Structure 1
Amino acid sequence: MASNYLSLAYLLLLAVSGNAIPIVDIPIIGSTNISLANSAASCFPALGFSMPSWVPSSTNGWWCDPSTEYAFVGFSYEVTECQSKETLKREFKDIRNKFSGRYVRLYGACDRAGFYDDVIDAAWEATVGVHALIWFGFDNSPIWQTRRNQLFLTLHTNPKAKFVTRLVQFGSEPLYDDVLDVGTLASQVWAAKANLQNLGIPVTISEMASEFLGAGLKRSQLVYPTRERQEDIHVGGSSLVFSQPTNVGNEADYFNLLDSKCEFFKTVAGGGVGWFAHIYADGQEPGYGIYDVYWREKFWFRPRTRC
């Protein structure tokens, strides 16, 4: 999806029936047989959780129950710069310690060998979960297949991977960007599910609402932002539409609005609604960051993580 259509908040829809896993935009396809922790203080990546000094033998009881993951959950984080491991550690810790972020949602791609291993190490050290991404790009290049294979190899071989990787996003708006047709995308998602099932890592995609509707999916499955100029939340039937701000003042008002709706998000049927701020810094995507290009906060940003 081209950057001028990116929203400033990506919404994370949480499902809590049985042992369900969080979903982003559409239902996740993946394992649902992992045990979830009952106490927020004892689960990853809850605020206050301390990482162990060893790698656990199982993810049973490791992940927090999705019903606790409403309101602000973290940042989108662009990786085209191929940040060093030290930069990843520093900025992930900033997301965690200054902004109380619990997750980092990767955006873009870095094709440097070992990069996702660095992401895993940084996430472990900072105590943040990761929404990994198979990035297609905008030029119809088949390089996404190499990225998919490398990511899956890392997930299977790095012992910490399944303890920080909450899910894998199979593309970012792949239907909107016309990189795969519906049938091919569906088969790829199911194949990814089978590949990652023994790790307990579910698979999802991020997509424009119009593409889901065009593919015959129900509006009730969607939570999406738009590029309207107004700052408001519209609730109609079973859909939520979030408007996007158009300047720094509107950006601040927009996030204040999301923060003010914490109590509403907590009670939305299905386990609540959580949201990401897109994006961490203007150096990653000009105009969209919480930090400007000089690493100054453009406005006060300390949204609630619970209410």
Structure 2
Amino acid sequence: MPSSVPKTLTDWWCDASTEYAFLGFSYEVTACQSRDQLHREFADIRQNFNSRYVRLYGFCDRKGFYDDIVDAAWANTLGVHALIWFGFDGDDLWKGRRDVLLGALHSNPRAKFVTRVLQFGSEPLYDNVLPHDQLTQQVIKAKANLSDLHIPVTVSELAYGFQERGGAQDLLDAIDSINIHMLPFFAQDASTSAQAWPLVQRDLQWFIDHGNGKKMYFDENGWPSVTSSSVQPNSPNAVADVPNEQGYFNLLDQHCTDLKNVVAGGVGWFAHIYSDNQEPGYGIYDSKGRLKITLAPRTSC
């Protein structure tokens, strides 16, 4: 990062057509990590894994928390996929989170230089937190709010979330990029991660067919190492263990060229999630801070 905040975003971001292959991590913030922890773990994400971005997941309602995110991202040369969290309780707390985040994006002079995109999520269509026409209006209003900051807006969602709402084409038309939840473990015909490429292709092709050539990312993207009360397969043949978690990211790496050749410069992908302390079973690190798998994916091909 430069020693002082630039005066303009002109030529600041790499073109989205260069954003394919491995991009970084999903990172849950429900623990409201301290500023020191954010700096320490963002440094690890950048230096040890060659990440470009951190994709936020969950929520922290502590005053000034997003300013801490911006500070840690700036210090470690990372961009941020920010998130307005709806949650699963059907409440309207997301409105306050939306307003606080939009305010921080305007008030923090460095925020627009680290915030690559603003997401509504997570899986708001699948969870039916808002009808798709109302969610579309939220996207349109946020785009207008952020137009002077040039921060694009999207939703973070499964293919099935769109499909079960009749395709929600109005929402697909409104969003600036398509940020996809790619979780093939939950497919009804899932088995092992080594056999998951056709499942990935199936959901990806749906977005290619309906996305009007927009840039695509796999943001909530992974394979669990264990099942739990909230992580249950829909196929009796789906295997959750550490080798299959490893195998899924190996699979994406092996298909780097296939992902690169997708419309709009290819598909960039995140590893979900940074630590088992954030979401048990999905972490690259276990709950004691030890690496579960070897993650050294290509960032280009």
Please give the TM-score of this superposition, normalised by the length of structure 1. Answer: 0.79
Q: Which residue of 2 aligns with 1:277?
A: 271
The secondary structure found in structure 1 opposite 2:148 is: helix
Query: What is the one-letter code of the residue matched to 2:278?
Result: Q
Query: What is the one-letter code of the residue matched to 2:291?
Result: E
2:38 corresponds to 1:88: yes
Instruction: Give the one of 45, 55, 74 matched to 2:5.
Output: 55
The secondary structure found in structure 2 opposite 1:238 is: helix
**Separation of aligned partners in 2, 1:285 and 1:153:** 28
Cα deviation, residue 299, structure 1:
1.7
2:141 corresponds to 1:191: yes
Cα deviation, residue 273, structure 1:
1.0
Query: What is the one-letter code of the residue matched to 2:280?
Result: P
Change (3 A) 1:215 1:222: farther
CA deviations 1:264-298 (Å, max 9, x no partner) are 22222321111100000001111110000111111
CA deviations 1:63-103 (Å, max 9, x no partner) are 00112111000000000000011110110010000011110
Cα deviation, residue 244, structure 1:
3.9
The secondary structure found in structure 2 opposite 1:58 is: coil
2:107 corresponds to 1:157: yes
* Greater relative contact order (Cα < 8 A, sep 6+): 1
**Separation of aligned partners in 2, 1:225 and 1:270:** 22
Query: What is the one-letter code of the residue matched to 2:47?
Result: N
Cα deviation, residue 172, structure 1:
1.0
2:233 corresponds to 1:233: no
**Separation of aligned partners in 1, 2:266 and 2:53:** 16
Query: What is the one-letter code of the residue matched to 1:230?
Result: T
CA deviations 1:228-258 (Å, max 9, x no partner) are 2332212359348988452111001111111
Matches within 5 A, 1:173-188: 173-188=123-138
Does the aligned pair in 2 maintain the 1:230–1:244 contact within 8 Å? Answer: no
Query: What is the one-letter code of the residue matched to 2:284?
Result: I
Matches within 5 A, 1:60-139: 60-139=10-89
Please give the TM-score of this superposition, normalised by the length of structure 2. Answer: 0.80
Unpaired segments ≥5 residues, structure 1: 1-50
The secondary structure found in structure 2 opposite 1:105 is: strand
Relative to structure 2, which stretch is displaced further, 265-274 or 181-190?
265-274
Cα deviation, residue 215, structure 1:
3.0
Q: Which residue of 1 aligns with 2:288?
A: 294
Count residues with an aligned counterpart: 256
The secondary structure found in structure 1 opposite 2:146 is: helix
Does the aligned pair in 1 maintain the 2:126–2:157 contact within 8 Å? Answer: yes
**Separation of aligned partners in 2, 1:269 and 1:183:** 26
CA deviations 1:204-224 (Å, max 9, x no partner) are 0011212212333379x7854
The secondary structure found in structure 2 opposite 1:207 is: strand
Cα deviation, residue 140, structure 1:
1.0
Cα deviation, residue 225, structure 1:
3.1
Unpaired segments ≥5 residues, structure 2: 173-177, 208-217, 225-239
RMSD: 2.0
Matches within 5 A, 1:198-213: 198-213=148-163
**Separation of aligned partners in 2, 1:271 and 1:225:** 22
2:252 corresponds to 1:258: yes
Relative to structure 2, which stretch is displaced further, 244-253 or 95-104?
244-253
Q: Which residue of 1 aligns with 2:241?
A: 247
Query: What is the one-letter code of the residue matched to 2:43?
Result: K
Cα deviation, residue 137, structure 1:
0.9
**Separation of aligned partners in 2, 1:222 and 1:56:** 28
